[in-house]
């Protein structure tokens, strides 16, 4: 069973008379536990693909399965539940709510699942510890460094124990050393929890550490290689 399955997935935007093929007929499977890097030039469709997989966008055509559920058949409420339970999201910036402290930010997705706060509070505390921020639980986002803020965002993405975490250039705003620490953290979570990780990055060094690299160009998959460096589910076999 594939964790994520894209079948002829297409997203088009209309700008006046012009049609932009942000994602063009992409078909691929991502297995549970893979550590996937998505690379490509700016405008190649990386964010579009991630937003589609995160159910933030509806495709123009094609279908998307998550844990074998056909998401095209779901209504708005069910999509919201899928986002809350099965997918975690980390963005490049504006990840945290400034009005909430670290713990409250990590607990945010618990609000949107039944009994979430009651059952999820210990999990939130545990995750904050795992990302190394136990001494920052009551801090506000403005009191954190960029790297710490992204750790909080990562902890938040994990709080509902999703099978899949999507990260859109999470290291774009931090220095190389901090970026590497974040990647190390992601690798650890990938290995310990068998959570699937899909990370969009410009950084070839980071991409090289993934178990699989998908390169996009003009909304199409240019290359898709399994490299076997990391990832519990990696096969180490390049795919055409």
Partner 1 sequence: MEVLRNVTRHKLRSFLTISGIVIGVLALTTMGALAENFNALLDGGVTYFGSNIQVGPPDGQSASLLPISKIDEIKQIDGVAAAFASYGFSAKPGQITAVSFGIPDTIVAGDPAENNWAALKTTFAQGHQLDASSTGQVVLGSTIDKEFAKKIGDTIDLPVKPSDAKPDFVNHAFTVVGILNPTRTAPDTFAYINVADGQTLLKDSLPVAIRDQIDVSKITEAINVYGKPGTSLSDLDKIADRINAQVPGVKAVRPSQLVNSFKSGGAIFTAITTAAALLALIIGGLSVVNTMFMAVAERVREIGLKKAVGATTFNIMGEFLVEATLIGIVGGVVGYGLGALITIIANATTPPGQSTLFLVTPNLTILAIGFATVLGAVAGVLPAWRAARLDPVTALRNE
Ligand X SMILES: Nc1ncnc2c1ncn2[C@@H]1O[C@H](COP(=O)(O)OP(=O)(O)O)[C@@H](O)[C@H]1O
Distance, C-alpha 12 to centroid of its chain? 22
- Residue 15 within binding range of ligand X, rule CB under 6 A: yes
Of 99-128, which residues contact partner 1 (CB under 8 A)? 99-100, 104, 108-109, 111-113
Q: Which does 226 bind (CB under 5 to 8 A by kind): ligand X, partner 1, Mg ion, none?
A: none
Whose CA is closest to 37, among 50, 48, 25, 26? 50
The label of the residue with tokens 């009551």 reads 138
- Residue 47 within binding range of Mg ion, rule CB under 5 A: yes
The label of the residue with tokens 């009651």 reads 118
Q: Edge to edge, what strands does the sheet with 164-168 contain?
A: 87-90, 164-168, 196-200, 35-40, 212-217, 220-226
- Residue 95 within binding range of partner 1, rule CB under 8 A: yes
Of 121-160, which residues contact partner 1 (CB under 8 A)? 156, 160
Q: Write the DSSP symbol of residue 54.
A: T
**Applying CB under 5 A, which part among 46-54, 84-92, 149-157, 206-214 lies near Mg ion?**
46-54
User: Among positive and negative, which fits the CA dihedral 50, 217, 179, 175?
Assistant: negative
Q: Which does 83 bind (CB under 5 to 8 A by kind): Mg ion, ligand X, partner 1, none?
A: partner 1
- CA atoms within 13 Å, Cβ hemisphere of 172: 15
- DSSP 3-state of 138: coil
> How far apart are CB 142 and partner 1 at their closest, in Å?
13
**Applying CB under 6 A, which part among 15-23, 120-128, 132-140, 220-228 lies near ligand X?**
15-23
- Residue 142 within binding range of ligand X, rule CB under 6 A: no
- Residue 13 within binding range of ligand X, rule CB under 6 A: yes
């Amino acid at each position: 069973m594939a964790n994520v399955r894209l079948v002829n997935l297409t997203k088009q935007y209309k700008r006046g008379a012009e049609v932009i093929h942000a994602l063009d007929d992409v078909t691929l499977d991502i297995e549970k536990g893979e550590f996937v890097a998505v690379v490509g030039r700016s405008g190649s469709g990386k964010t579009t693909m991630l937003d589609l997989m995160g159910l933030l966008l509806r495709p123009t055509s094609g279908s998307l399965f998550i844990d074998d559920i056909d998401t095209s058949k779901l209504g708005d409420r069910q999509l919201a539940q899928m986002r809350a339970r099965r997918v975690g999201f980390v963005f490049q910036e504006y990840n945290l709510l400034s009005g909430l402290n670290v713990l409250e930010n990590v607990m945010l997705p618990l609000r949107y699942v039944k009994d979430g706060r009651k059952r999820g509070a210990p999990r939130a505390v545990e995750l904050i510890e795992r990302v190394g921020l136990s001494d920052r639980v009551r801090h506000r986002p403005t009191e954190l460094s960029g790297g710490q803020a992204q750790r909080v965002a990562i902890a938040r993405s994990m709080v509902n124990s999703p099978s899949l975490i999507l990260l859109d250039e999470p290291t774009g705003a931090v220095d190389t050393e901090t970026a590497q620490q974040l990647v190390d953290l992601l690798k650890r979570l990938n290995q310990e929890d068998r959570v699937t990780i899909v990370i969009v990055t410009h950084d070839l060094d980071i991409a090289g550490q993934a178990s699989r690299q998908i390169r996009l160009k003009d909304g199409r998959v240019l290359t898709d290689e399994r490299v076997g460096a990391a990832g519990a589910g990696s096969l180490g076999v390049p795919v055409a």
